[in-house]
Structure 1
Amino acid sequence: MEFEDTVNQRHSIRNYSDKKVDPDIIRKIVEIAQKSPSWVDSQPTKVYVAKGKALDNIRTAYQKNDQAKIKSQPDLPVMHREDWNERTQENMQQWRHEIVHHFDDFDQAHTQMTGASVNLYHAPVILFITIPKNSSQWSIFDAGLFSQTLMLAAKNEGLDTIPNYTSVRFPDVVRKEISIPDDETLVVGVALGYASDQTINSFESSRKPVADILKSDN
Structure 2
Amino acid sequence: MTHSSAGYAAHDRATCVSGVMRSRRTVRAFRTQPVARELVEEVLKDAAAAPSGGNMQPWRVYVVAGPVKNILSAAVLAAARAGKGLPPAHLPDPLPEVFRGRMADFGARYYASLGIDRSDVEARARQTERNYSFFGAPVGLIFAIDRRLKPHSWIDLGLFAHGVMISAKARGLDTCPQVSFAPFHHAISSVLGMPAEEVTVFGMSLGYGDLDAAVNRAEMPREPPECFAQLLGFPT
Q: 1:213 to 1:198 in 2, by over 3 A?
A: same
User: After superposition, where does 1:138-177 map in structure 2 within 5 Å?
Assistant: 138-177=152-191
> Of 39, 42, 49, which aligns to 1:25?
39
- 8 Å contact kept, 1:50–1:178: no
The Cα of 1:102 is off from its aligned counterpart by 4.4
**What is the TM-score with the length of structure 1 in the denominator?**
0.87
SS at match of 2:181: helix
In structure 2, what is the Cα distance between the partners aligned to 1:99 and 1:131?
Answer: 30
Q: Which runs of 5+ in 1 are unaligned?
A: none
| 1:97 matched residue in structure 2 | 108
The higher relative CO (CA closer than 8 Å, separation ≥ 6) is in 1
- 8 Å contact kept, 1:49–1:126: yes
Higher radius of gyration, 1 or 2: 2
SS at match of 1:207: coil
Q: 1:103 to 1:191 in 2, by over 3 A?
A: closer
**What is the TM-score with the length of structure 2 in the denominator?**
0.81
Instruction: Pick which of 109-118 and 24-33 moved more.
Output: 109-118
The Cα of 1:104 is off from its aligned counterpart by 6.3
The Cα of 1:103 is off from its aligned counterpart by 5.4
| Alpha-carbon RMSD | 2.5
- 8 Å contact kept, 1:46–1:131: yes
In structure 2, what is the Cα distance between the partners aligned to 1:202 and 1:184?
Answer: 36
| 2:28 matched residue in structure 1 | 14
Deviations for 1:93-144, whole angstroms, at most 9, x for unmatched residues?
2212333554566258847843533533112111111221222321100000
Tell me whether 1:213 sits opposite 2:228 in the alignment: yes
In structure 1, what is the Cα distance between the partners aligned to 2:21 and 2:203?
Answer: 20
In structure 2, what is the Cα distance between the partners aligned to 1:79 and 1:133?
Answer: 18
| 1:202 matched residue in structure 2 | 217
In structure 1, what is the Cα distance between the partners aligned to 2:217 and 2:134?
Answer: 18
Q: Which runs of 5+ in 2 are unaligned?
A: 1-14
Whichever residue aligns with residue 13 of structure 1, its letter is V
In structure 1, what is the Cα distance between the partners aligned to 2:45 and 2:226?
Answer: 35
